[in-house]
Structures are given as structure tokens and as C-alpha cells.
Amino acid sequence: MTIVRNKDLTAWNTFGLKVSCACFVEYGSVAELEELWKRNRDGLGLPETGGAGDGTAFPSPILHIGRGSNLLFTKDFPGTVFHSDIKFIEAGGESCGITAGETAGDRRTDVEVGAGVLWDDFCRWSAEQGLWGPENLSGIPGETGAAAVQNIGAYGVEAKDFIRMVKCFDCITGKVVAFRPSECRYGYRESMFKTSAKGRYVVTSVCFSLSSGPNPKLEYGNVRAAVDKALEDTGKSLTPALVRDVILSVRNSKLPDPAVIGSAGSFFKNPVVPRSDYERVASIARIGHSDDCQVPHFDTGSGFIKIPAAWLIEQCGLKGYRDGNAAVYERQPLVIVNLTGEASPEEILAVEKKVSDSVYSKFGIRLQPEVEHI
């Protein structure tokens, strides 16, 4: 267990913003988390409460983070940041809660992963084992616990598609609990851990149900074409490792490496709007281009259409837009970057406002941030 006062958080947010917190606590096991709760049970899990006032209290508010890959610190954090360093990857049904008379399927393998394991390390491990499931999500920064909270997604796959169970520490009762995916209320980049139960549960590990038989998901965008080309060029067979390599190549061609250029990945959610709003966007696009202009979209059913936020931003001429040390990434307008490494939170917020206001002014659609503001 590590406890540090006045901790520099520059390395703990992928934007690379120079912010700090009053206290930083890192624990390496559920037992250590339980010990922390017993010492400070009045303030461990609820952001609005303080400590116990007995000299062991941690400054409030309380924030649990992974690697800060989906966070925008808007200023120094006045409270305590908790981080899980629980790291393990274990294959086997018993640890994932399979009981007598229950099976995950003859060609399924259940794997439990500690919340502190880097997500891409788990993706690499799965591919090396020949297990299908997370390969399309390769390269996404952050940790496994945060992946379950955020319901990360990319290239037609979401984490919820192969999550079997999420194990958590309940900061109210001090007990370890587990939730099935149906109980997590997963949605588009959403879960109960971000909404109704925010602050109550700390993810300690995630159980995944992976396929040991071929189960590629290649229908999104140009993924199938890229995979077919890789098969032809390499002469290799279709495996999770090959799909992972293709996904990493596609991501690297579009998205900045946070280790080089600070960012939080996709900054905005793709708006899901009524068909009437989509028709308005299409009409505006035809005026700006030509009558045969096609707006990229995905029909979600029930009269709602998903429009790529990146397309809307680019139509506003903001690809590569810069304000001081912050900018819209020149290769992917869905990403806001700390271009020089010296951006302040205020500069990132200014670019966010510029993008949001411009899209609303042109198309009447207000983009919602995917990145959590702290």
C-alpha cells in the first residue's frame, strides 16, 4: 500500500496535464482495500463525505481512477485519489463464479483479470492464447477495471459483449459483491458505475467469457478489408493475433499515442438523434456540398440514427484547429490533444467549447463529451 500527500498527477492522466491531488493512495489487493475502508469508512466511497476525523482520514472528495485515460482534470484535485494495483490474469471457471450445473459453453474460456491490469496487456494475452473477444479493442489505453466501468468500445465491439461478471468492493457495506452484465445497466459508454451507483462500487476484477473457437467481428467500417489484405500479404490464417495486429495498425494511423501526444482518445460521443434531426443534418450537408452528398450514419432502430461526431466536427472546418497549446488532432477530429505537452486544463476546455459550439451552430446538435470532467 502506498500513501502520498500532494501527489503530482501528470503521469496519471493521459492528457499529461500538470495537476496534482491532496492525497494519492494505491492498494494492491482486496484485503488492502478493506483495510483502507475500515480506517476511513466514512469517506472511502462517497464523494460528498469526508473522513472519520480520527487522524487517519483521507481528504475529501474521493476519486477512484485507472490510468486517467478517460479523464479531464479541470484543476488540481483537492481530495484523495485511489488507484488499484491489483494485477493478475487467471483462466478458469471457478474464479468467475461458474457453479454446478452451469456452463459457459464448450468453446468458451472464462478469464478473471485484476482491475489494475493494463487493458492492452489483457488484449495481448488473449490473442497469444488464441482466445477471441477483446482483439477489436486492442490499443485502447487504460486499465481493465476502468474498461468495465466505461464499457469501452471500438470497431463494432463493446466490453459488455464478453464481460461475464464484474467483481466490486461495496464502499457502503465493506463487502465484496459481483454483478452480471445485465445488472450493470450497460449502454453506449455508460454503466451504473458511472450513473446511479457512481462512487459506491470499486471494481476489483472483471471476469470475461472468451471464445476458443473462431469468432471474428469484422463488419465495422473497413476492418474486413484490412483483415483480408493482411491475410493475403502475410499468408497467415485468421487468428485473434492477426486481427489484433490489424486493429493496432488502423488505430495507430488515426489516433495519437498518448505517450507522445497527450489525449484522452475519443473526446466526444457519437450523437444518436431522431431521424428528423438526421434529415436536417443531411439537408445542411447538401447545401454545403452537393445534392448527392452522403452523411455517414448508422440506423440504430426505433427511429434513431447515430452520426459520427468526427464527421460533424470536420464539416465545421475544425480538423487541426489550435488554441494555444491545445488542438483538435489533425488526423482524427474526434480527439482533442495536448499538442505541445504544456496545455492547461483551461486550454483543453476552450477547444472543447469551440468544437461543441461550432457543431451546434451549424447542425443544431450538441455534442456530449465522452471524457469525464473532474
What positions carry a catalytic annotation?
189, 266, 370
In whole angstroms, give the CA distance from residue 277 to residue 298.
13
Burial 221-241 (b: 16+ CB within 10 A, else e): eebeebbeebeeeeeeeeebb
In whole angstroms, give the CA distance from residue 306 to residue 308.
7
CB neighbour list of residue 65: distance below 8 Å, 6 or more residues apart: 12, 71, 81, 82, 83, 146
Supply the Cα-derived Rg of the chain in whole angstroms.
22
User: CA end-to-end span of the chain, whole Å?
Assistant: 24
Check whether the bond before 61 is cis (ω within 30° of 0): yes
What torsion do the CA atoms of 349, 200, 77, 358 make, to the nearest 10 degrees? 0
